[in-house]
Structure 1
Amino acid sequence: MRFHNRRQAGRELGLRLMEWASDGELPRLVVLALPRGGVPVAAEVARALGAPLDVLVVRKIGLPGRPETGIGAIVGDDPPLFDQRALEMLGLSEDRLVQDVARERAELERRALLYRGDRATPDVEGRTVVLVDDGLATGATARAALRHLRRPGPARLILAVPVCAPGTAAEMRSEADDVVCLRQPPEFGAVGLWYDDFEQVSDDEVIEVLHDHSARSHSPRATEA
């Protein structure tokens, strides 16, 4: 069953997480989105959970000539995290990808500045972190993000996505404390195949979603609630 769009997928995911979270306490909850596609999904999740929303900018390192195929990822100032098995199978070395890494790091820094400005990154130590994306194919960006978030010592690290390749979901269970995925179709193909509307999310949309969520969270009605 396909999702209509990312917003609808996020509402379904939020409902599932509300049911899942009712079984136990989730201290100091924060929802982090992987931009750009994960942001509309995460906004609905954060709304359902009544949690703050922020972004963690991660960049996929694609296969030369096939950038849509992820063979690694970078986040923050961390060194690139490569799929070593994929590199060996393709006869690639990390040295051959230096320029690709530099290009993606420059784009990562551009987006981080655009989305966050001078806001500090969220302190996740001792917090329950729900990391959200619109789907997982190879899981390269999610893996890099989870390892980055693990270092400060969150109380609990949860990966939540609407759809993912079954094998990738299984692999992510060794990276996150919990993995919540609504659909794991055996014939996965690609994330976009499971959405009716999978238009690229723009920078302006990311900024708008973050602003709207922040404004709603700080509104008098939200404060009273």
Structure 2
Amino acid sequence: MPFRDRTHAGQELALRLVEWAGSGDPVDVLVLALPPGGVPVAAEVARALGAPLDVLAAREISTPIRPETAIGAVVADDPPLYDRRSLAMMHLSEDRLGDVVVAERNELHRLEYVFRGRRPLPSVDGRTVVLVDDGLATGLTTRAALRFLRRHGPARLVLAVPVGSPRTIASIRPECDDLVCLEQPRTLHVVGEWYEDFGQVSDTEAARMLHAFHATA
């Protein structure tokens, strides 16, 4: 097991990102976590880079028939991003998922309030944005998040994860300018396989971590 927990993974990832930052001259770095699991990882990265930390909430879209299978993702008020292959296999159309999308978007806005209150997402225009999560399996929410950020004009868009599926990493690489992934095991069924402790991070815990980071930054 390469990582004891998310904090350890963040520390290891931070070491690589400090090297990455030292090899160039990143402009005005902003670290964004995909909550809740990405927050403890991203906190270590932001601390090492001396950068501000915030979150970009994203929600998976699934169906009542197969709630364990993600077929899409939604970020902010952007249109949903769907896995077209999964839609075809389940004989679903976007129109039939309207109620699901509304429910997930409502939950997304609730989460944004939990993490930021009424404070808006920081501007990413002209900045180096490092998007961090605790791992990359299917990559749907990550892809949706990267596309959302790209549309808002960052100078450089970086994805950083401790572990990821090689196939997903290869498919998502064109969505960002740089991609840092410490471990790419040949088979990755679930991200938690690569952590000794992969206990669930609650929204409340993640919000508390964010507040603690800002209090000591």
Q: Which category of TM-score, normalised to the shorter sequence, fits these structures?
A: over 0.9
Aligned to 2:203: 203
Distance in 2 of aligned mates of 1:47 and 1:140: 27
**Native 8 Å contact 2:72 2:80 kept in 1:** yes
Query: How much has 1:60 moved relative to structure 2?
Result: 0.8
Distance in 1 of aligned mates of 2:60 and 2:46: 24
Is the aligned partner of 1:98 residue 2:98? yes
**Native 8 Å contact 2:159 2:180 kept in 1:** yes
Distance in 2 of aligned mates of 1:164 and 1:188: 7
Deviations for 1:155-204, whole angstroms, at most 9, x for unmatched residues? 00000001111110001111011111011100111111111111111122
Letter of the 2:99 partner, please give it: Q
78-87 or 89-98, larger mean C-alpha shift: 89-98
Aligned to 1:85: 85
Runs of at least 4 residues of structure 1 off by over 3 A? 63-66
Which 5+ residue runs of structure 1 have no aligned equivalent?
A: 218-225
Which 5+ residue runs of structure 2 have no aligned equivalent?
A: none
Secondary structure at the aligned position of 1:9 is classed as helix
Secondary structure at the aligned position of 1:124 is classed as coil
**Native 8 Å contact 2:160 2:180 kept in 1:** yes
Query: How much has 1:68 moved relative to structure 2?
Result: 3.3
**Native 8 Å contact 2:125 2:155 kept in 1:** yes
125-134 or 95-104, larger mean C-alpha shift: 95-104
Aligned to 1:14: 14
Letter of the 1:62 partner, please give it: S
TM-score of the aligned structures, taking structure 1 as reference length: 0.93
Residue correspondences, number: 217
Aligned to 1:2: 2
Aligned to 2:184: 184
**Native 8 Å contact 2:63 2:100 kept in 1:** no
Aligned to 1:112: 112
Aligned to 2:55: 55
Identity of aligned residues (%): 62
Distance in 2 of aligned mates of 1:92 and 1:2: 39
Secondary structure at the aligned position of 1:174 is classed as helix
Aligned to 2:139: 139
Letter of the 2:191 partner, please give it: V
Secondary structure at the aligned position of 2:3 is classed as coil
Aligned to 1:223: none
Mapping 1:66-81, distance limit 5 Å: 66-81=66-81
Distance in 1 of aligned mates of 2:84 and 2:77: 20
174-183 or 90-99, larger mean C-alpha shift: 90-99
Query: How much has 1:63 moved relative to structure 2?
Result: 4.3
Query: How much has 1:115 moved relative to structure 2?
Result: 0.8
Distance in 1 of aligned mates of 2:126 and 2:57: 21
Superposition CA RMSD, Å: 1.1
Aligned to 2:215: 215
Distance in 2 of aligned mates of 1:198 and 1:149: 27
Secondary structure at the aligned position of 1:30 is classed as strand
Query: How much has 1:71 moved relative to structure 2?
Result: 1.4
Distance in 1 of aligned mates of 2:67 and 2:57: 18
Letter of the 2:210 partner, please give it: L
Deviations for 1:94-143, whole angstroms, at most 9, x for unmatched residues? 12222221221111011001111011211000000000011111100000
In structure 2, the CA distance between the partners of 1:33 and 1:165, relative to structure 1 (3 Å rule), is same
Distance in 2 of aligned mates of 1:54 and 1:66: 32
TM-score of the aligned structures, taking structure 2 as reference length: 0.96
